[in-house]
Structure 1
Amino acid sequence: MLLGCIGDDFTGSSDLGNTLVKGGMRVVQYCGIPDAPADPAVAAGIVALKTRSVAPEEAVAQSLRALDWLRAQGCRQILFKYCSTFDSTPRGNIGPVAEALADALGAGAVIFCPAFPATGRTVYQGHLFVGDRLLSESGMEAHPLTPMTDPDLRRCLAAQSRRGIGHVPAATVWAGAPAIRARLAEEARAGRPFAIADAIRDEDLVALGMAAEDMPLITGGSGIALGLPANFRRRGLLAGQPAGWRGQAGRAAVLSGSCSRATRGQVAQHVARGEPRLEIDPEAVIAGQVTPRAAADWALAQPGLPLVYSSADPQAVRAVQDRHGSDLVAHRLEAFFAETARLLVAGGVTRLITAGGETSGAVVEGLAPGALEIGPEIAPGVPAMRAGDRLVLALKSGNFGAPDFFAAAAAVLAGETVAA
């Protein structure tokens, strides 16, 4: 294994896998820390954790265990992958995990760059933009678990890190890899080894990847991996292409627990198409009035592409959280979707699409597939994945995908089309 990756959620990890597969690497995403060695043919291994919203101490402990396993597979470089909207709180977990990994690897300067231009995430002057809006005006300021109210990533990271925070400005990135390395060294000497890097184009991410060729640790969104496969190829360590995708026939279903703008638009499109849908009221789940068995039985009785969703307006979600507590609401909904997924697969669903990072993580934990082979891209940041002989998945971050994502994903999972 050449590249070892640690993801703080399941959808973000598959997003990273998508980038690396397009770069020509054979990629396997491990759902949790494996208890056996990897297949030697795997070029990039991604240990997908569910550590974005847990206590920092637990996030650090899990990430270090993942690091130990990846190093045992012979990885030459480690990538810590977090969300392209830098989802975190003043306690972490981006800063604490990055510090622990840097200490374990003896890393000096470390790049931090969540940019993903293909989905509108760019970093300029140290500030994160989503499309033409600052992060704090993008809808992420209303996130129920990790509200992002400050677009200055230097301040965000400084609040959760003991290390000094530096900056690699766009002009330096545009000057190429040697200039980036020189700036990183300069920032480290000045006591600012954790450096936020600007990137507004894919070419900027490729340059950052080239600059990080000899760094033991690099951090960012999936875009930061754009230049990494070429580093290994130049050294003669990577050749060939991954195996072709094999679609899966059979029944499909969608589970959505995201309240993001993009997902709510996808739900609206699904409704407009006349596809079957069942809206889940969180209050009814908490009261036990709606059960996974009832939801699964409903979906299995439907033609077409049934959708089971709890994707309310963020204000409505916050009202439920105020009444019951955010931890309880999150736990009950995640348990609901995990059990619904198990029942759907047991009932014959072979193509399962999920929307929302927490929902997708719960579904993967519920299904416990062990490892996921990364396939072709469905939409920027979202690949098709195979979870065994008869099950394929699409795990979508809430903010990703076009309005027709659900139908497009079902087609790609079946092998009927491959999105450009």
Structure 2
Amino acid sequence: MRKPPADPVRTIAVLADDLTSAGDGAAPFRGGGHRAKVLLPEAVEPGAAALDGVVAVDLGSRLLDEASAVALAGRFAEAFAGSDLLIKTVDSTLRGHVAAEVRAAHAGSRRRAVVVAPAFPAEGRTTVRGIQYVHGVPVDETEFARDPVHPVRTADLTRLLPEAEVLEPEQFGKLPELIDGGGVFVCSAATDADLRLLVDSVPLPGDVLWVGSPGLAAALAGHHIPVRSARPPEPPMARRPLVVVGSANPATRRQLDRLRTRTDVTSVEAAEAPAEGLRTLRRTTAPVLVVHTPDARRADASSLTVDLAHFVRELVADELIDGLVLTGGETAVAALEALGAAGIDLVDEPEPGVARGVLVSPPHLPVLIKAGGFGDDGILDRLLRLLMEGSPIAESLPIAERGPFAGHAPIAEGGPTS
């Protein structure tokens, strides 16, 4: 393990364009021993940047128009400009208002230079000569080019940021001098070792606005370990979780398909008669409840998110569930807002693209938040096992075979209604 630097980093701010990115950006620091909270913007108080540890803020800007996204990025970068380390996360597939938010955050941060490194090698997202790839394919030739909200138009970061200079790993040694002169630097990285070399090459991290995805956050966290490690909150085990699937990403839909084959799961679609769906979930004795958006993408995705949040609010109020697995950033935000929760105390990152935490306000439920495009087909099984048993490694057995919620009594006919 590396020794802490002579002047250790104490305050770290992560500005993200959605909730899963906020969790991804904060989780490596939590794993390294820093305290970490992931918050919705309305929960951020003046002076939050002065607190020890990580404050990761979901600006929610990916779903906004560009002008609103720019205003938020600039305002929060200015608010957190005094942080020892300031990170603007971007999606590793370049979705969202990437260039506009980077420029606004740079202006607000008053940092000397911007280092842009969106590679996330653990998930096959790499940057080579300024081109962003997903498993060796330029990102604008993948399914992300068909994203219903932010289709990716180019894989070339120099087209997004024409003012930037592209650096390959063998050129990172030039960074101290380049940063002194100011500017924007797109840094290629095909491996985690490349990202570590990048971080090691910057002598004064406070001079830089760091822009990247979980790969860069992990490299920064490995370099800036705290003098004294903070114990993470202890999440309670869930006896009866609710899985909420709002992402339309094909990877998530495959994960949902696998989950729905299990005999210990009752699953309903949010778009078809929500009141009937709630009655189904209230009556079932299944140990795991699932609510999801339709398999076919719909133009009115925002109304479906509202429907999902309604299920969460009602089932928590009925005390029928005691843990949540939330897939998709917009879905996760809607669920937290439905419960009046300002965010989560972060526990760890059990798998890439997954944040585990506890709601910061009552009912203090354990929560797992998964980014839509991450994970293999069995990830939801593993996350349920972690939530219910604290065992993230082995392949899950059907929960009904273990019976952790055997004998649950559903609400009788005539009980609480939607």
| Cα RMSD after superposing both structures | 2.5
Contact kept? 1:11, 1:361, Cα under 8 Å: no
Amino acid at match of 1:144: P
Amino acid at match of 2:61: T
Residues 133-174 of structure 1 deviation map (CA, whole Å, 9 limit, x = unaligned): 22123211111001113221221344xxxxx1221123324x
Is structure 2 residue 366 aligned with structure 1 residue 383?
no
- Decide which of 189, 192, 195 is 1:199's aligned counterpart: 189
- Decide which of 25, 30, 35 is 1:16's aligned counterpart: 25
Q: Which runs of 5+ in 2 are unaligned?
A: 1-9, 395-418
Amino acid at match of 1:167: V
- Decide which of 200, 209, 220 is 1:217's aligned counterpart: 209
Contact kept? 1:334, 1:358, Cα under 8 Å: yes
Is structure 2 residue 56 aligned with structure 1 residue 46?
yes
Aligned twin of 2:261: 272
Contact kept? 2:237, 2:366, Cα under 8 Å: yes
Q: Per-residue deviation at 1:39? A: 10
Q: Per-residue deviation at 1:250? A: 2.7
Is structure 2 residue 199 aligned with structure 1 residue 227?
no
Residues 279-315 of structure 1 deviation map (CA, whole Å, 9 limit, x = unaligned): 537xxx4xxx622x44333334331222211252xxx
TM-score (norm 2): 0.82
- Separation in 2 of the partners of 1:65 and 1:368? 24
Query: Which deviates further from its counterpart, 272-281 or 17-26?
Result: 272-281
Amino acid at match of 2:125: R
- Decide which of 2, 24, 40 is 2:11's aligned counterpart: 2
Aligned twin of 2:279: 297
Is structure 2 residue 315 aligned with structure 1 residue 332?
no
Residues 54-97 of structure 1 deviation map (CA, whole Å, 9 limit, x = unaligned): 012211222334335435xx522211112111112xxxx22222
Aligned twin of 1:353: 325
SS at match of 2:248: coil
Amino acid at match of 2:279: D
Aligned twin of 2:369: 395
> How much identity, in percent, do the aligned residues show?
23
- Separation in 1 of the partners of 2:75 and 2:389? 36
Is structure 2 residue 109 aligned with structure 1 residue 105?
yes
Amino acid at match of 1:214: G
Contact kept? 1:168, 1:183, Cα under 8 Å: no
Q: Per-residue deviation at 1:105? A: 2.5
Aligned twin of 1:344: 315
Q: Which runs of 5+ in 1 are unaligned?
A: 159-163, 322-328
Mapping of residues 126-145 of structure 1, within 5 Å: 126-145=130-149
Residues 265-285 of structure 1 deviation map (CA, whole Å, 9 limit, x = unaligned): 10121123334354537xxx4
Aligned twin of 1:168: 167
Aligned twin of 1:370: 342
Contact kept? 2:50, 2:83, Cα under 8 Å: no
- Deviating beyond 6 angstroms after TM superposition, the runs of 4 or more aligned structure 1 residues are none
- Separation in 1 of the partners of 2:364 and 2:333? 20
Aligned twin of 2:72: 62
Aligned twin of 1:258: 247
Mapping of residues 109-128 of structure 1, within 5 Å: 109-128=113-132
Q: Per-residue deviation at 1:249? A: 2.9
Contact kept? 1:76, 1:216, Cα under 8 Å: no
Aligned twin of 2:391: 417
Q: Per-residue deviation at 1:226? A: 2.0
Closer, same or farther: CA 278–240 of 1 in aligned 2, 3 Å: closer
Q: For this pair of structures, how many residues does the alignment match?
A: 378
Contact kept? 1:350, 1:390, Cα under 8 Å: no
- Decide which of 173, 177, 181 is 2:176's aligned counterpart: 181
Q: Per-residue deviation at 1:4? A: 1.0
Contact kept? 1:111, 1:194, Cα under 8 Å: yes
Contact kept? 1:33, 1:65, Cα under 8 Å: no
Residues 195-241 of structure 1 deviation map (CA, whole Å, 9 limit, x = unaligned): 221111111222222334232411111221223235444xxx63224
- Separation in 2 of the partners of 1:113 and 1:277? 42
- Separation in 1 of the partners of 2:90 and 2:152? 14
Closer, same or farther: CA 377–259 of 1 in aligned 2, 3 Å: same
- Separation in 2 of the partners of 1:334 and 1:252? 19
Q: Per-residue deviation at 1:397? A: 1.0
Aligned twin of 2:291: 308
Contact kept? 1:279, 1:309, Cα under 8 Å: yes
